[in-house]
Chains A and B, each alone.
Chain A
Amino acid sequence: AQSVTQPDIHITVSEGASLELRCNYSYGATPYLFWYVQSPGQGLQLLLKYFSGDTLVQGIKGFEAEFKRSQSSFNLRKPSVHWSDAAEYFCAVGGGSYIPTFGRGTSLIVHP
């Protein structure tokens, strides 16, 4: 069965600092990996996705993620965080069923 682990429940960063949110997955074949963001009072919005090819994936809002098969990881990064990035971030893994399984989420807090 597919699964996702987001080891950090909360992450606090200062505005302008770099960010890395961790995601580890379990899947028996080549996974399809996603990062979604949930702003307060909103539904989830796709930031980026990985299917194959280049392991460094660029997304919206200046985010990127790197797929590392050897570590079963798909960490999300941003070089300089803005206050508007404060939100809940979800990693998800999909595959043959095409129905993604979501991690528990990481809440990002941005200090001015």
Chain B
Amino acid sequence: DADVTQTPRNRITKTGKRIMLECSQTKGHDRMYWYRQDPGLGLRLIYYSFDVKDINKGEISDGYSVSRQAQAKFSLSLESAIPNQTALYFCATSAPGTRGEKLFFGSGTQLSVL
């Protein structure tokens, strides 16, 4: 079984709909992240959480919200989806360390907003 699991793998939705992407991990890591990937733009950080009570905005948080339900679960919500939120979304985890943490990624959720 995958250490970082994202559901769903693919989702097609319509403009204005609310949608939630879910992420769960079995690695026991405190830190969790949501990134989006767009062709030619690489990965951009949406939100991150260093523990259950800690939520922080990344560089592109507008239009998104998150919930850290437990150490192992971190959900990303689009309250009112718009077409330019069509992208590949990745959840990642890391263990706190003193020097440059390795990120462990899920397989991604391909979201299409029509």
A residues within 8 Å of B by Cβ?
A: 6, 9, 32, 34, 36, 41-46, 49, 51-52, 90, 94-95, 98-105
Contacts and interface: CB of A to CB of B under 8 A. Distances in A.
Interface stretch (B11-19, B67-75, B94-102): B94-102
A47 to B, nearest CB: 11
Nearest to B59: A101
B103 A46 contact: yes
A101 B33 CA distance: 12
Contact of A42 (B41, B45, B103, B107): B107
B44 to A, nearest CB: 8
B33 A51 contact: no
B99 A41 contact: no
B40 A51 contact: no
A43 B89 CA distance: 10
A44 B97 contact: no
A9, A32, A41, A100, most chain B CB atoms within 10 A: A100
B102 A90 contact: no
A49 B107 contact: no
Contacts of B105: 43-45
A104 B42 contact: yes
Nearest to A44: B105
Interface in B1-18: 4
B33 A43 contact: no
A43 B43 contact: no
13 contacts: A9-B40, A43-B4, A43-B92, A43-B105, A44-B43, A49-B100, A51-B100, A90-B43, A99-B33, A101-B45, A102-B42, A104-B42, A105-B42
